Amino acid sequence: MAKAPPSISLLLLLSAAVFLTLPASISSIGVNYGTLGNLPPPTQVANFLKTQTSIDSVKIFDVNPDIIRAFAGTGISIVVTVPNGDIPALANGVEARRWVSANISPFHPQTKIKYISVGNEILLSGDDNMIKNLLPAMKNLNAALVRAGVKDVKVTTAHSLNIIAYELNGAPSSGRFRPGWDKGVLAPILAYHRQTKSPFMVNPYPYFGFDPKNVNFAIFRSPYKAVRDPLTGKVYTNMYDTLMDSTYSAMKALGYGDVDIVVGETGWPSACDAPWCSLENAAWFNLNIIKRAQGQGTPLMPNRRFETYIFGLFNEEGKPGPTAERNWGLFRSDFSPVYDVGLLRNGQGGGGGRPAPALPAPSAGGGKWCVAKSGATDAQLQANIDWVCSQGGVDCKPIQTGGACFNPGSVRSQASFVMNAYFQRNGRTDGACNFSGTGAIVGNNPSNGACKY
C-alpha cells in the first residue's frame, strides 16, 4: 500500500462539503432492526420510521409476527430471516410449504415482505449440516412461494465476507471465494440467484478486519494509506470499496458478475473498547455508506446503486460481549438520534456532521497479552468467546476440537486465548482488552505447551 496521490487527497478536500450534506431525497436505505434490549413496541417503531424518517426498508433476524404485522400498510418493505437452526428441516419441501403458510401468507401483501434470508452467515458457522442444506432450503422456499401465488418475495441468504480469500496479491480485482466454497457451495447459490433474479446478499464490515495502523482507510477519512490495484490501476481510498470490489471480482470469476448485490449489514459502532469508536467516526462512516447507496458505486462498479441495510436501528443494551455490541445504533430507545446522518424528515437533524480529527495510530506495544480477569464469570467469558468467534474477525480453530488450545473443561482458558487474539489483532490497546470489564492485560506470556498466545 502507498499514500494517496496528491490528486486524490485534493479531490477529497474539494468534495468534503458535498459529503457533509446528503441528498435532499434519500432512497433505498434500510436498517437492521434488532430487538435485544428495552426497546419500544413494534407498532411505535413502525410509525416512527414511516412518519419521521426516510428509511424505506428494515431487516429483522427472525419472523416475529408482531414486528411483521406492525409494518402492514406502512409502505416500508421488510426482510425476514429464517433462524439458522430451521434450515435442515426446510430442505424438505413439505416443511418449506408449511413455513411459508405460517410466516409469509398471513401477512403478505399487507406487509411488504421483500426478501426471505435463509439464515445468517451460515458458512461462517462452520456447521456442515446447515451448509449442506442451505441451497435446498432456499430452493424449496422459493418453490413454496410460487405454489402459494406469492410472486414478489425473493429468497436469498446473507454471507459474512469470510467467504472471500484475501491477500492473493492485494488487488480487489483478484478477489476470489475461498477454495472449497467457491465451486462447491457459492457457484450453485449464484446460479440460483441468476435463475430466480434474486440478489446475492453480503455483510461487508470494515470494522471487523481493518488495519489498526490505517484506521482512517476503514472509516472514509483522510489522511490514509490508499490501495492501488496493480492489475487495474484503480486507486482505493477506503476499505469498504475494496470489500465490495473483491466480492464482485469473486462473483465475476465464477461467471456471475451480472447477479445483483445487496448489502445486508454494514456499520460502525459509536462506542467500543478502543479509540477508533466515536460518535463522529460512526456518523462519518454511515454518511459515506448512505452516499454509496444512492448510486455512487465503487471503482469496479461505478454509479451502481446498492440496496443497503445499515446495522443497526437501535443501540441494543441487552446484547452480550464487548462494548461495541451495544453501540451500533442510529437511534436510542427513546427514538432520539445517537448522531445525525440526515435520515430524519422535516429538517430534524438536517443531515450534517463534521469529520472527526484524525485518530492516532494504536501503539504497537510489546510484551502484552490479554487474559480473562479473575472475577469474570463463565457466562461472561462464554459470551466473549461467542462474540469474538462470530464477529471479532479472529480464527478460533485453535480452541475447537483437535486445536492446540482446545480445553473444553475450562471456559476461562479458551476465553483467554480468543480475547488475546482479538487484543493482538486490534493494536494491543488497553481498550481492546476491556470486554466490558472482564479482560486484564498481563506482562507474562500465558502460552502453555503447544497453545501459543
- The pair phi, psi for residue 421, each rounded to 5°, is -60, -40
Neighbours of 33 (CB within 10 A): 25
CA contacts within 13 A on the Cβ side of 327: 20
Nearest to 100 by CA among 139, 69, 144: 144
- With a CB cutoff of 8 Å and minimum separation 6, the contacts of 359 are 215, 216, 275, 276, 281
Helix (H) or strand (E) run with residue 382 in it: helix 378-391
Residue type, 115: Y
- With a CB cutoff of 8 Å and minimum separation 6, the contacts of 126 are none
Residue 238 CA to chain centroid, in angstroms?
Answer: 16
The catalytic residue positions are: 121, 265
Helix (H) or strand (E) run with residue 176 in it: strand 176-177
Q: Please, what's the b/e burial string for 389-413 (b: 16 or more CB within 10 A of its CB; e: otherwise)?
A: bbbbbbebebbeeebebeeeeebbb
- With a CB cutoff of 8 Å and minimum separation 6, the contacts of 42 are 64, 66, 67, 69, 70, 71
∠ CA 132-133-137, rounded to 5°: 150
- The pair phi, psi for residue 60, each rounded to 5°, is -115, 165
If phi over 0 gives left and psi between -120 and 50 gives alpha, with beta otherwise, what is residue 385?
alpha
Cα–Cα distance measured from residue 332 to residue 162, given in angstroms and rounded to the nearest whole number: 30
- Asked whether the beta carbons of 57 and 30 are under 8 A apart, the reply is yes
Cα–Cα distance measured from residue 172 to residue 227, given in angstroms and rounded to the nearest whole number: 9
Instruction: Tell me the pairing of strands 154-160 and 164-165.
Output: unpaired
